[in-house]
Structures are given as C-alpha cells and as structure tokens.
Structure 1
Amino acid sequence: MCGGIAGKPPRQAHGKSCRNVQKFGQLDDLQVFFMLDRDGYRPNVGIILINGKNEVFWGKRVREHSWQFPQGGIKPGESPEAAMYRELLEEVGLLPQHVKIVGRTRDWLRYEVPSNWVRREWRGSYKGQKQIWFLLRLTGRDCDVCLRASSHPEFDGWRWNDYWAPVDAVIEFKRDVYIRALTELSRFLKGLENYDSFLQRMRQSARPAPVAEGLPDKQQDH
C-alpha cells in the first residue's frame, strides 16, 4: 500500500524485495584518508527528499533512536550529482526516474565531528564532512522507497516530516548545516513558511488553551 501521513510512527523496513546494491559507505582507513581534503574534511552529499506537501523524508538509523537525512561520501573522480543518485539508491532504494532535482546548494557546507565520535585511528587527520545538498521531489510513489536496497542498510524506518522539523531533531553537531541547507533550498519552494514562522507556530501549539474567566480549570487526566 502506498501513501503516508507525517507524524505517524516510522515505517519499518520489512522483508520487501528490492534491488540489492553494494554499499559504498563501508570503507577501510586508507580509502577514507585519500578522500579527505587538505583541511581534513571528507567530500559528501546530503539529500532532502520532499513529497507533494513539501514534507521531508526523515530516516531512522539502523538499531538507533537517531534520525537524519540521507547522506554519503563522494568517490574520487565522482561528481556530486552522481554521488547523490548512488546514495539515493543505496539508502532509500530510489532510482533517478523516481525523483526530480529541484535545486542544490551553491557551495560546500561543513560540519565538524566531535573527537569522541571519530575512530581513534582517524583522529588528527579527519575533521568532519563538507557537503553539497540536493533538494529532490519524489515523483514516484511512497512504496517505491526500499530501505533494504543495500547489503548494509543505513535506515530501518522512515516517515514524512514537516520541512523544518529535522533542525531540532538532528544530532547537535549537524544542526547548523541542516539550518543552512534547508534555508538555502527553501527558496525553491513557493509558499513555504520560513524557519522563524515554523518555530513560532510550534511554540503557539505547545501553549495551554486559555481558560474562560469565571470558569474552573479543566482537570487533566493522568
């Protein structure tokens, strides 16, 4: 069955039959070293996949409670666009005919990875990621998504989410890049509220409803 609703529990990666591709993300130390630039950043692509409601694909990392956008490294000699399509297949199971490129960031966006997140043998040489971000619109169906297209899946669940919601949900050291990427790419989406408006709406929705003067407060069920 195709179709989904934002905010519902994550869809699980059941035993759906789909393409099985070799995951590029399984790299040895030497491969990673030769992919770093002179400042210690690994070239990378990030993918913001949207549906017809401008909701974004939000993936749950395998056996973790953390969520993120699809992303992955760029091979030596590979263009950012080619890397994007490869990562899209490996992590989300989608082919080029399932999506349309809406836009991309003009320049690299960088984030540093805290040292306690870096493998010991990479410390001192690996600093973080530099990314080109792509905004894609899903032209296929929700059921075209296949989280088991790779032999090493990145996600085991996913959902559609409000465009700006990932900013507050992603791990802290990626937050600034998420804000910058979402902000830059939001110019391609007509009628989309900006981040400040989203925050204001979220704060207002979290406020308790006003109580009419002279009436007792409604008791809460616990």
Structure 2
Amino acid sequence: MIDPDTLPYRPCAGVMLANRQGLVFVGQRLDSTLEAWQMPQGGIDPGEAPRDAAVRELREETGIGSHLVEPIAEAPGELRYDLPDDLIGKVWKGKWRGQRQRWFLYGFLGGDDDIDIMTPEPEFRAWRWAEPHHLPELIVGFKREIYEELVRIFERPLAQWRDLP
C-alpha cells in the first residue's frame, strides 16, 4: 500500500467561468459514473504559468478560446485537496496524493454556441450553467471544501461582473 504522506500534490489550475447572468459553467466528467459536475481544471505543465494552464485547460475541455474570456479575479494562493484513500495509487498513475490548485475567475464573452465539449480529447459528457452557491453540492465530496472556498472567494467579483452593463 502507498503511504499518501510520501506523495506530492499535483500542480493544477482551474477556471470558474461565469456568463453575464452570473451562472457558472460545469461539466459532467466522461470518466466518472458519479452524478458529479465540475469546473474546467487540469494539470500545470512544467514551466507553464498557472494562468496560462487555466486558459489552456478551458480551451481543451470546452473549446472556448482566450478571445472569448475576460479575466476577473484570481484566488489568493493555492487550494489543496487529498484524494480519498481508495483512489490513492489508482489515479494519475499513483504519482500524487491530491492536487494543489490555482483558481481564476473569467467572464464569458461568447454565447452557448461557442461551447463545444466534443474536443479532440473530450473530458465532459454534458455541460450546463449553474448557480454559484450550488457548486459545492454538484462536485464529488472530496473536492467540496475547495468549491465552498471558491464560491466565497469569488462572490464579490462575480457579482460585480454580473452587474456590469
């Protein structure tokens, strides 16, 4: 059995993408049988800046290019989660104990027809817009605290984005 305390955290970046109504993009992962939804996120490549990784992951998972988003806010510092014991050693080839994530809030400048989850390497089977306060109940349990924190961190800038003319 792998001792999780000996494993590092996987560096990761994520995007809370908000439309003008203040709703947030969530996708249902292809590789999960759970009724769980998440925001776009993924690993940071060696030498890649977290913001660049976040925009790349957004494009890879949703088809949304950088010309269709506007940066609004960045979470201060990293947020971390640990994998449940039954997943350690099974995901990410057993290299990581969880993730240390940098999160960014972006405003979506496009329309629903600009979203295409059938990308060359799709990660989502479905997508929808969700109320921010519902995000923690949509995500898998072991990521819930991060989503609660993100809703708190981005509450004010999200409201300001929504209220812009």
TM bin (shorter chain): 0.7 to 0.9
Alpha-carbon deviations, 1:144-178, whole Å to 9, x = none?
0011222x211011111111111112111100011
Question: 1:119 is paired with a residue of what secondary structure?
Answer: coil
> Are the equivalent residues in 1 in contact too, given 2:18–2:158 (CA < 8 A)?
no
RMSD across aligned positions (CA)? 1.9
2:145 aligned with 1:176, yes or no? yes
What TM-score comes out, normalization by structure 2 length?
0.85
2:5 aligned with 1:48, yes or no? no
Identity of aligned residues (%): 36
Write the distance in 1 (CA, Å) between the matches of 2:158 and 2:39. Answer: 18
Question: 1:190 is paired with a residue of what secondary structure?
Answer: helix
1:159 equivalent among 116, 128, 131:
128
Which structure's relative contact order is higher, taking Cα pairs within 8 Å and 6+ residues apart?
A: 2
Alpha-carbon deviations, 1:39-93, whole Å to 9, x = none?
6101101111111110011111116332111110000100001101110110010
Write the distance in 2 (CA, Å) between the matches of 1:91 and 1:191. Answer: 26
> Are the equivalent residues in 1 in contact too, given 2:28–2:38 (CA < 8 A)?
yes
Aligned to 2:116: 146
Write the distance in 1 (CA, Å) between the matches of 2:130 and 2:144. Answer: 16
Write the distance in 2 (CA, Å) between the matches of 1:179 and 1:72. Answer: 19
Q: Which has the higher helix share?
A: 2
Q: Which has the higher strand share?
A: 2
Map residues 1-222 of structure 1 onto 2, 5 A cutoff: 40-62=8-30, 64=33, 65-120=35-90, 122=94, 126-150=96-120, 152-190=121-159
Alpha-carbon deviations, 1:90-124, whole Å to 9, x = none?
001010111111111110000001121233461xx
Write the distance in 2 (CA, Å) between the matches of 1:82 and 1:191. Answer: 24
Write the distance in 2 (CA, Å) between the matches of 1:105 and 1:67. Answer: 20
Structure 1: give runs of 5+ residues left out of the alignment: 1-37, 193-222
> Are the equivalent residues in 1 in contact too, given 2:72–2:157 (CA < 8 A)?
yes
Question: 2:132 is paired with a residue of what secondary structure?
Answer: coil
